[in-house]
Amino acid sequence: MLLIVIDTLRRDRLGCYGYGGGTSPRLDAFAADALLFERCLAPSGWTEPSTASLLTGLYPTRHGCHEYAVLPAELLLVSERLQTVGYRTIGVSGNPNASPLFGFDQGFDAFWFDQNDKAREYPDVSELVAHAEALLAQDDGRPTFLYLHLMNVHGPYLTPDAWRDRFRRPGARNFPFQNEVWKDVMRMGKVERRAEVTPADIADLEARYDAAVAYTDEIVGRFLERRRATAAGRDELVVVTADHGEELFDHGGFGHGFTLHAEIVDVPLLIRPPEGGAGRRFDTPVSLVDLPATLLEHLGALPPEAQGRLGDGMSLWPLIDGREFERDLPLVSHLERGKQGSAFLLQSWPLRLIETGHDYSGRSSVAELFDQATDAMERFDLLARDPERSARLRALLLARRGALEAQGLAAQRVPLSDDQRRQMAALGYGDG
């Protein structure tokens, strides 16, 4: 079983989700033999809480891993659950926020993370895939679970020059990750500098991002092809997803971890069973918290009394198999990053309500309502147009958040060394 998380990958930049930019021919081919979920919601807007959710099945409000906090020991990761049913468990991660530093190696027989190299932002996708393949080759006869967390789509969107040249656009001007305007807007709250951002800047930013998606697509696609050619690979389930997306000035900002808008929380989810998925597509809204229950039910490792549930998630196999699938509670997403931002999202399809406690731009106590069916990129706030429906959803959000908080765990924050802080800063993170 392979769980591949492509950090920072927006689903709307993949061809199989309708993008025409030519970024993902290999993942598009994979999707043609997989199950594609058109409406998958990330549980948070940045790596640590969202990845903790997709490995535990708990929302961030419950597991408590909001920023630089260690996963509480009492939580069971999907890796630990798979160990109990006889799986060899392997983790390979290029992101310090999803690494042993914060307890993400729980339940893994082997976990590779380049914790000692602070001279670079992250290991290249080709290096991480090579480590994964080396660990996979150490077969001991047990079935294997691999969690592989890849980074090149994350800023600074690192690719060989030839890949960026392929996506360079006429008239674009140099606008790299965390340039001065970017930092002033996102770190200093100088939102007036948004006016300096030109279409030529955005063209360069999007070209860098698309090049990183395409480069990652090539490396991951070839890895999946090699794996599929092996006896073990032909008999395993493969998941390709992302922990969150990336803002490319969609709502006047950059990066991630600051808001819960669509470009941040709408992620791809592709699942290929051993027998293939025939390119079937599902438009039922789902969440990354559904992954643990889905993986374990595939193995018959969910007890009958669980009724297809694990934590806050539900197994997607009833939906896949055409059985009854009805969610009794709305999907949510939660961002809590100290000074950087606080927000909570509730989705009652097709409506999304976002309550922002505070954000980088100085806004506080702001509610916004969007209709995803007619406004997928959330341009038109409907809150004032329909006060009755808005009030009903706000009451539902408060009740849902309160219920989750009542079950929340207190995760302990980790003091970071100077080297670790520098590495976090290189990735665009800072203390909240």
Q: Same domain, yes or no, for 239 and 221?
A: yes
Q: Same domain, yes or no, for 265 and 321?
A: yes
Query: How many Å from the N-terminal Cα to the C-terminal Cα in the chain?
Result: 36
- The answer to whether residue 416 is domain-embedded is no
Residue with tokens 């069971």: 76
Position 432 scores a pLDDT of 41
Q: Kind and range of the H or E element at 318?
A: helix 317-321
Position 116 scores a pLDDT of 63
Distance CA 290, CA 308 (A): 10
Q: Same domain, yes or no, for 376 and 291?
A: no
pTM of the model: 0.97
Q: Same domain, yes or no, for 352 and 325?
A: no
Q: Same domain, yes or no, for 239 and 382?
A: no
Domain count, the chain: 2
- The answer to whether residue 104 is domain-embedded is yes
Distance CA 206, CA 213 (A): 10
In order along the chain (432 residues), what is the average pLDDT of each group of 10 residues? 98 98 98 98 97 98 92 94 96 96 96 78 96 95 96 97 92 94 96 97 97 98 96 94 98 97 98 96 98 96 90 97 93 92 96 96 95 96 92 96 94 86 85 46
Identity of the amino acid at 15: G
Give the number of C-alpha atoms closer than 13 A to the C-alpha of residue 172, restricted to the C-beta side. Answer: 16
Distance CA 312, CA 59 (A): 7
> What tokens were used for 349?
């399809």
- The answer to whether residue 429 is domain-embedded is no
Q: Same domain, yes or no, for 325 and 361?
A: no
- The answer to whether residue 419 is domain-embedded is no
Q: Same domain, yes or no, for 64 and 116?
A: yes
Q: Same domain, yes or no, for 195 and 314?
A: yes
Kindly report the CATH number assigned to the domain that includes residue 395.
3.30.1120
Position 424 scores a pLDDT of 87
- The answer to whether residue 430 is domain-embedded is no
Q: Same domain, yes or no, for 250 and 135?
A: yes
Q: At CB < 8 A and 24+ separation, what contacts does 98-102 make?
A: 98/5, 98/47, 98/48, 98/51, 98/149, 98/243, 101/414, 101/420, 102/48, 102/65, 102/68, 102/69, 102/70, 102/71, 102/414
Q: Same domain, yes or no, for 337 and 316?
A: no
Contact assessment for residue 45 and residue 244, using Cβ atoms and an 8 Å cutoff: yes
Largest CA distance in the chain: 61
Identity of the amino acid at 404: L
Position 414 scores a pLDDT of 85
> What tokens were used for 333?
């997403």
Question: SS3 helix, strand, coil % of the chain, rounded to 5?
Answer: 40, 20, 45
What range does the domain containing 347 cover? 332-406
Q: Same domain, yes or no, for 247 and 354?
A: no
Reduced to 3 states, what is the DSSP secondary structure of residue 389? helix
- The answer to whether residue 351 is domain-embedded is yes
Distance CA 371, CA 352 (A): 6
Angle at 67 between CA 101 and CA 183, to 5 degrees: 110
- The answer to whether residue 412 is domain-embedded is no
- The answer to whether residue 414 is domain-embedded is no
Of 269, 297, 330, which residue is a domain's last? 330
Contact assessment for residue 128 and residue 151, using Cβ atoms and an 8 Å cutoff: yes
Q: Same domain, yes or no, for 10 and 116?
A: yes
Kindly report the CATH number assigned to the domain that includes residue 227.
3.40.720.10
